[in-house]
Amino acid sequence: MKKYLKYLLPVIAPLIIILIPAPEKLSANAWHYFAIFIGVVLALILEPVPAALSGLIGVVLAASFQLVPLQPDKPITAATSVNWALSGFSDSVVWLIFVAFMFAMGYDKTGLGKRISLLMVKSLGKRSLGLGYAMAFSDLILAPFMPSNTARSAGTIYPIIKNIPVLYGSTPDKDPRKLGAYMMWVGISVTCVTSSMFYTALAPNILALNMVKDIAKQNITWGQWFLNFAPVGILLILIIPYLTYIIYPPEIKVSPEVPEWAAGQLKDLGKMKKEEKYMGLLAILALFLWIFGEKQIHSTIAAMIVLSLMVLLKVVDWNDIIGNKQAWNVLFWFGTLVTLAGGLKNVGFLKWFADISASMVAGYGVMTIMIILVALFFISHYFFASITAHVTALLPIFLTTAMAIPGMNMLEYSMLLCASLGIMGVITPYATGPSPIWYGSGYISQKAFWALGAVFGLIFIAALLVIGVPWIGFIN
């Protein structure tokens, strides 16, 4: 797409919507706000400007024209408009995402993330299949504490893994199927599963939970999320390396040099530094508080406690925190997205859309409707290059649609939608943050990547529906 179209479409589309009369039973304010919202979503997809700036512009426009009440059916004034515009930045979820990025920085700065990955490779890397499991377990260990799957997968694991295929003469230009292609596919598919396993493993998960709490009135804790997805996630983690080994096998089955290489890398790292030990203990403390301390300490406060200890113990310093551009960018990005998503509810758009959608699926069984909606939510990610954009654009609509259906178990349905967010990242070369890195390695052709994405995407969503639906329904 030509560059100027990326700038024009997010502007032209809202203008066209505004020129169309508001549908029956929907106010002009709600319709005009929806137009701005569509412009922001298009900007998130096309990325003519940074994503955080797109969200900020959308909030500023809606507040300037006083389109959104602070609460549904309340008067709109200049004062309430600014309170609404800043509401996302007071949301605890936004700050949890911010602090979690600091955890990821701690793993990176101390070298603990690299050490964990190398230890796994050293222990399991003698065979190609073992390498696959080393990658899977490394990602699994890091996932609860790294909400950026790009930082975890592309920033921590990929830089280590990319050095291994060349030891056997497997490069993107020569013998990619020898070893490299297998490892690259395991890398991306595993991180998609771990991104669904923990709600702190993918930033959009946390954004999604906030929408679930606000719209569907369902509060899902860290432990609930893990327990709900565990049977599906554990099974997929265990079968992905072997499944890839069968469907897309490496030509080399034994790799005796890899453990020696990993041992050499560990030797270069030296003994475990005190900062690494502190980081490891603090990660365990955060996990403990998230699982067992939810009733006494809010998850965001627990994360801030750990962050404060990271600074006091000199795992990171204050300059690291104020200089972490990625974390501050995400804070602005998600702060505005939370605000914008809440605006759809406040202007009455979600209720209007839900009533229409519910009437269209009337006559089907509740369970059938649930499965159809979850499958549609998953498949629709083919049209998105960002899980965050997907959540912002579609999750409120899918939630409100289901709320209008009598007998719908909203806790089960909400969890199924949220659990699909990580695994949907496997379907295309642009579906999630790490995808362009693993695909860009050059080991997997475009045709093969799309084919594998379709096969594994089908396996992932089938596992969620066949195993997850009865399991989540049973425990809830």
The closest alpha carbon to 62, from 18, 8, 4, belongs to 18
311 in Cβ contact with 106 (< 8 Å): no
* CA distance linking residue 223 with residue 315, whole number of Å: 27
- pLDDT at residue 294, as a whole number: 65
Residue 2: its pLDDT value, please?
66
Residue range 311-362, pLDDT digits in tens: 999 999 999 999 988 788 878 887 887 788 778 878 888 778 777 777 776 6
The residue to which tokens 């605890």 are assigned:
92
61, two tokens:
């426009």
How confident is the model at residue 452, as a pLDDT? 95
Q: Specify the pLDDT at position 1.
A: 52
Which of 377, 364, 453, 430 shows the shortest CA–CA distance to 47? 430
Residues 348 and 27: their CA atoms lie apart, in Å, by 8
Per the structure block, which two tokens stand in for 42?
């298009």
Quickly count: other Cβ atoms within 10 Å of residue 411's Cβ.
20
**pLDDT tens, 134-175?**
889 989 988 888 777 877 887 778 877 887 888 777 888 888
Cα separation, 412 vs 400, whole angstroms = 14
If residue 301 lies in a helix (H) or strand (E), which one and from where to where? Answer: helix 299-312
Phi-psi domain of 442 (left: phi exceeds 0; alpha: psi -120 through 50; beta: other): left
Q: Where are the beta strands (DSSP E) in 68-152?
A: none
Count Cβ atoms below 10 Å from residue 373 Cβ, excluding itself: 21
- Residue 141, classed as helix, strand or coil, is helix
Half-sphere exposure of 326 (CA within 13 A, CB side): 15
Helix axes 325-346, 51-64, angle to 10 degrees: 40
Distance CA 133, CA 48 (A): 39
Q: What is the structure's pLDDT at 349?
A: 83
| Residue-level pLDDT at 41 | 80
Give me the pLDDT at residue 362, please: 67
Residues (pLDDT < 70) of the chain are: 1-2, 291, 294, 361-362, 385
Residue 441 has φ and ψ, to the nearest 5°, of: -60, -25
Contact 437, 392 (CB under 8 A): no
**Whether the Cβ atoms of residue 85 and residue 339 lie closer than 8 Å to each other:** yes
